[in-house]
C-alpha cells in the first residue's frame, strides 16, 4: 500500500488494526514519509511529512521554536488565521500568546481546583448508565460515549442542561470530520463555522451573565479577577469553549467507544480487568489511550531550515505527528500491536508529546475513562459488543479517529438513582 493512501478518506474507514498495520510498514521504512494530499479547499496538491516513530514525535514536540503550532496544529492544510484561532484557541498558538492563555486556564484547571468536577464524574456516569440499564441493548456511542464527557464539560462551565442539545449538535458537527450523516448536505466548512458561532454565542451570553451573577463554575473563574491576575478577553472565551467542548470531549468519547471494542477483541484482557476493576483501572486506562490513540494527529510547521534524524526540512514544511503510529513503535513498546491492560511501563503519547502543548485535561480524561469502565464492568457485567464499529466518514485525515455507532447488549438491571 502506498504512503499516499493515508491521505485517502477510505483508509480511515478501515478497522483500527488494519490502519495500524500500514503505519507499521511506513514506520519500518523510516521516521518520516513524504505524502501528497489534495486540499478540500482549493483542490490543489499539498505536501506533508508523516512522522511515525516515537523518538521523532517526542523530539519535535519538545522543540516548539523549531517546529511551531502557530501555523496550524489541527489542520493538515493551511487555514485562514481567523479560522485557526476560532477553532483552536491556544493549541494553535506559539509563545508568548500560547503561554499567556494556557496559564490563565491552567490556574482554574488544576486537579485541586477541579476537585468538584472530578467528584461529579461519578454522579454523571451513574446518571448516564441509569438512562440505559433497563434497555438491554443500545448504541454505546449515542447512549454513553457521546453524552457522558459533554455533560461533565457543560456542568463544569455552568451551562444549563436545557442547552445541552445545542452544545451536542454543534460539537458533533465540528467533530464529525465532514461526515454527511452528521453535517448534512451543503457546505461542510460553512456548517462548521455556523456551529462554532453558535457555541461562541452561547459562551458569550453565559460569560456576561456570570459577570453579574457569579457561581461555582469554570466560567465564573475565567471572567472574575479577584487577585489582579490576567484574564481571558471576551473574544478569547468563545474559542476556549470550542476547544474545551471539542478537544475535551473527543479523547473520552472515542476512548470509551474504542476501549469497549478493544475489550471485545481481547476477552482475556477484559477478564483480567473485570477480576480486579479498581486495581487494574490505572494501567488499563493508559493502555486504552495508547492502543486507541483517539487524537489521530497534530501538525507542526518548521520555522526555519532544520535537520532532524538525518532528514533536512525547510521553513514552512509541515510535519504531521501520528500518535497512534508512535504509540506502537517496537523500539519503545514490547508487543506493540498487543493489548495488555497491565502494560507497564507505558510511556504513550496519546495525550500529546512532551512540551508546551501536552493535554491540559489529561487528568480529567483519565478519571472519566476509569469511572465509566468501572461502572460499565460492575453494573452491566455481561455487556458485549454485538456489531462492528461504524467509523466517521471523514473527508480526509480526521483529527479524531472517532466512531459513530457501536451496538452493545447486556442483561437489563435496575437504575441506582431511584
Q: Give the separation between CA 19 and CA 324, rounded to whole angstroms.
A: 10
| 124 assigned to some structural domain | yes
Q: Which residues lie across from 302 on neighbouring strands?
A: 67
Q: Give the separation between CA 321 and CA 58, rounded to whole angstroms.
A: 9
**For the residues 322-331, what does the mean pLDDT come to?**
98
Chain centroid to CA 313: 28
Q: Give the separation between CA 269 and CA 280, rounded to whole angstroms.
A: 10
| 414 assigned to some structural domain | no
413 CB-contact burial (10 Å; exposed 0-12 / middle 13-18 / buried 19+): middle
Chain centroid to CA 127: 23
Per-residue DSSP letter, 65:
T
The predicted pLDDT at position 177 comes to: 65
pLDDT tens digits, residue range 132-159? 999 999 999 999 999 999 999 999 999 9
pLDDT tens digits, residue range 159-173? 999 999 999 998 888
Q: Are 391 and 12 in contact (CB under 8 A)?
A: yes
CB contact set of 380 (below 8 Å; sequence gap of 6+): 129, 133, 410, 411, 413
| 334 assigned to some structural domain | yes
CB contact set of 283 (below 8 Å; sequence gap of 6+): 341, 342, 343, 344, 346
399 CB-contact burial (10 Å; exposed 0-12 / middle 13-18 / buried 19+): buried
| 418 assigned to some structural domain | no
The predicted pLDDT at position 339 comes to: 98
**For the residues 382-386, what does the mean pLDDT come to?**
98
**For the residues 205-228, what does the mean pLDDT come to?**
85
| 91 assigned to some structural domain | yes
Look up the CATH number of the domain holding residue 214: 1.10.630.10
Q: Which residues lie across from 300 on neighbouring strands?
A: 319
Minimum mean pLDDT range among 28-32, 237-241, 298-302: 237-241
| 387 assigned to some structural domain | yes
The predicted pLDDT at position 1 comes to: 45
pLDDT tens digits, residue range 282-301? 999 999 999 999 999 999 99
Minimum mean pLDDT range among 95-99, 229-233, 254-258: 229-233
Domain around 12: 3-409
| 417 assigned to some structural domain | no
Total number of domains constituting the chain: 1
| 156 assigned to some structural domain | yes
User: How many distinct helices (H) and strands (E) make up the chain?
Assistant: 16, 12
**For the residues 232-236, what does the mean pLDDT come to?**
84
ω before 345 within 30° of 0 (cis)?
A: yes
Amino acid at each position: 500500500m502506498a504512503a499516499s493512501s493515508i491521505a485517502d478518506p477510505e483508509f480511515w474507514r478501515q478497522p483500527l488494526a488494519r490502519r495500524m498495520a500500514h503505519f507499521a510498514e511506513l514506520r519500518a521504512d523510516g521516521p518520516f514519509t513524504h505524502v501528497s494530499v489534495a486540499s478540500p479547499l482549493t483542490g490543489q496538491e499539498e505536501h506533508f511529512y508523516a512522522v511515525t516513530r516515537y523518538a521523532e514525535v517526542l523530539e519535535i514536540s519538545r522543540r516548539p521554536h523549531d517546529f511551531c503550532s502557530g501555523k496550524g496544529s489541527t489542520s493538515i492544510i493551511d487555514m485562514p488565521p481567523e479560522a485557526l484561532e476560532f477553532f483552536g484557541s491556544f493549541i494553535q498558538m506559539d509563545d508568548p500568546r500560547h503561554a499567556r492563555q494556557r496559564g490563565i486556564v491552567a490556574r482554574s484547571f488544576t486537579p485541586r481546583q477541579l476537585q468538584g468536577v472530578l467528584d461529579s464524574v461519578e454522579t454523571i456516569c451513574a446518571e448516564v448508565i441509569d438512562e440505559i440499564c433497563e434497555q438491554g441493548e443500545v448504541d454505546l456511542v449515542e447512549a454513553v460515549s457521546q453524552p457522558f464527557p459533554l455533560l461533565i464539560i457543560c456542568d463544569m462551565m455552568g451551562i444549563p442542561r436545557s442547552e445541552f442539545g445545542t452544545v451536542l449538535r454543534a460539537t458533533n458537527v465540528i467533530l464529525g470530520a465532514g461526515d454527511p450523516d452528521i453535517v448534512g448536505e451543503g457546505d461542510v466548512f460553512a456548517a462548521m463555522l455556523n456551529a462554532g458561532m453558535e457555541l461562541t454565542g452561547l459562551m458569550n451570553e453565559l460569560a456576561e451573565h456570570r459577570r453579574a451573577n457569579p457561581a461555582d463554575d469554570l466560567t465564573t473563574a475565567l471572567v472574575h479577577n479577584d487577585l489582579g491576575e490576567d484574564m481571558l478577553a471576551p473574544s478569547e472565551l468563545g474559542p476556549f469553549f470550542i476547544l474545551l467542548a471539542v478537544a475535551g470531549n473527543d479523547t473520552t468519547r472515542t476512548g470509551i467507544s474504542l476501549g469497549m471494542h478493544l475489550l471485545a477483541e481481547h476477552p482475556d484482557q477484559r477478564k483480567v480487568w473485570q477480576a480486579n476493576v479498581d486495581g487494574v483501572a490505572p494501567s488499563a486506562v493508559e493502555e486504552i489511550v495508547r492502543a486507541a490513540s483517539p487524537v489521530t494527529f497534530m501538525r507542526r510547521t518548521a520555522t526555519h531550515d532544520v535537520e532532524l534524524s538525518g532528514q533536512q526540512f525547510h521553513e514552512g514544511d509541515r510535519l504531521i505527528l501520528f500518535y497512534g503510529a508512535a504509540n506502537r513503535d517496537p523500539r519503545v513498546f514490547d508487543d506493540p500491536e498487543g493489548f495488555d491492560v497491565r502494560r507497564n511501563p507505558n510511556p504513550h503519547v496519546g495525550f500529546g508529546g512532551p512540551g508546551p502543548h501536552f493535554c491540559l485535561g489529561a487528568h480529567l480524561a483519565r478519571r472519566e475513562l476509569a469511572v465509566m469502565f468501572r461502572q460499565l464492568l460492575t453494573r452491566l457485567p455481561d455487556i458485549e459488543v454485538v456489531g462492528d464499529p461504524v467509523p466517521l466518514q471523514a473527508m480526509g485525515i480526521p483529527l479524531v479517529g472517532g466512531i459513530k455507532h457501536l451496538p452493545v447488549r447486556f442483561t437489563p438491571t435496575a437504575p441506582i438513582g431511584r
